[in-house]
Amino acid sequence: MDFDLMFTSFPKLLGATAVTLKLLFASLFFGLIIGLLFAILRLNKNIFINKFAYGYSYVFRGTPLLVQIFIIYFGLGQIEYLRSTFLWVILKEPYWCAIIAFTLNTGAYTSEILRSAFQTIKPGIIEASKSLGVSNKIIFFKIQIPIAIRQSLPAYGNEIILMMKGTSLASTVTLMDLTGVAKYIISTTFKPIEVFIVAGGIYLFMTFIVHNIIKFLEKKYYFNS
């Protein structure tokens, strides 16, 4: 075991963690918006809107994230027409390709989490509000959404952790995230065990943080519905 290497690679890996966190926060942010949007579409009574939203989550939950990122990065890059459009400004950059893939992926899972959370809200709560003359808008924003968020916390916390580990796939499209830099150090030192132990430790620590934040929020917003 080369402890010197573990010490010298630690600051480099910590620096790369910034890239990992940027990817994670950007995709969680956009993913949450898309997820909420598609969750609402899923609850729509119009069969076409409903099926469209279902199709999206079905496709992105049913294919591996690695395949999605490869299709977006290497696949779309092969379409000559696309390269002459303004879209290429975004798709040219591996960073944005990774964020698009992660966003669409986490958006699909988030929409399912939120949909099931909306559906667990007891109809009685809404009926009671209506009978008190509360407007639909206020019911949605002040009653349904807060309850849905509370209900989805455990599952969404899981999704954050899965997505954090998923960002390691960014290294397959030339990005120097935590895994990318770990692989780079290995390629010059040929010592995978030491470097991956340090990188794995950093991932574990981030999971620990996320896990505890979610646990705290769950306690804070605890209620018995």
Partner 1 sequence: MKKLKVLGLGILISSFLTISSIADQIKIGTEGAYPPWNSKDSAGNLIGFEVELANELCKIMKHDCTIVEQDWDGMIPALVSRKFDAIMAGMSITGERMKTINFSQGYADEVASLAVMKGSKNEGLKTMSAINLSNVSADEKATLDVLTKAFKGKTIGVQTATIHQNFLESGLMGNIKIRTYKTQDEVNLDLSAGRIDAALAAAVAFTDYAEKSGKGVVLTGPTFAGGDFGNGVGVGIRKGDSKLLNDFNAAIDKARDDGIISKLAIKHFGFDASM
In angstroms, what is the minimal distance from the CB of 77 to partner 1?
A: 4
User: What distance in Å separates the CA atoms of residue 132 and residue 148, rounded to the nearest whole number?
Assistant: 21
Q: What is the 3-state secondary structure (H, E, C) of 19-73?
A: HHHHHHHHHHHHHHHHHHHHHHHHCCCCHHHHHHHHHHHHHHHHCCHHHHHHHHH
* Binding region for partner 1 (CB under 8 A) out of 33-41, 73-81, 157-165, 215-223: 73-81
Cβ closest to partner 1, residue 10 vs residue 184 = 184
User: What distance in Å separates the CA atoms of residue 127 and residue 176, rounded to the nearest whole number?
Assistant: 52
* Binding region for partner 1 (CB under 8 A) out of 55-63, 76-84, 98-106, 120-128: 76-84
Max CA pair span of the chain: 70
Establish if 78 lies at the interface with partner 1 (CB under 8 A).
yes
Residues within window 90-149 making contact with partner 1, judged by CB under 8 A: 92, 94
User: What distance in Å separates the CA atoms of residue 182 and residue 168, rounded to the nearest whole number?
Assistant: 10
Residues within window 164-223 making contact with partner 1, judged by CB under 8 A: 172, 174, 183-184, 186-188, 190-192
3-class DSSP state of 189:
helix
Cβ closest to partner 1, residue 48 vs residue 190 = 190
Question: Which residues would be at the binding site for partner 1 (CB under 8 A)?
Answer: 74, 77-78, 83, 92, 94, 172, 174, 183-184, 186-188, 190-192
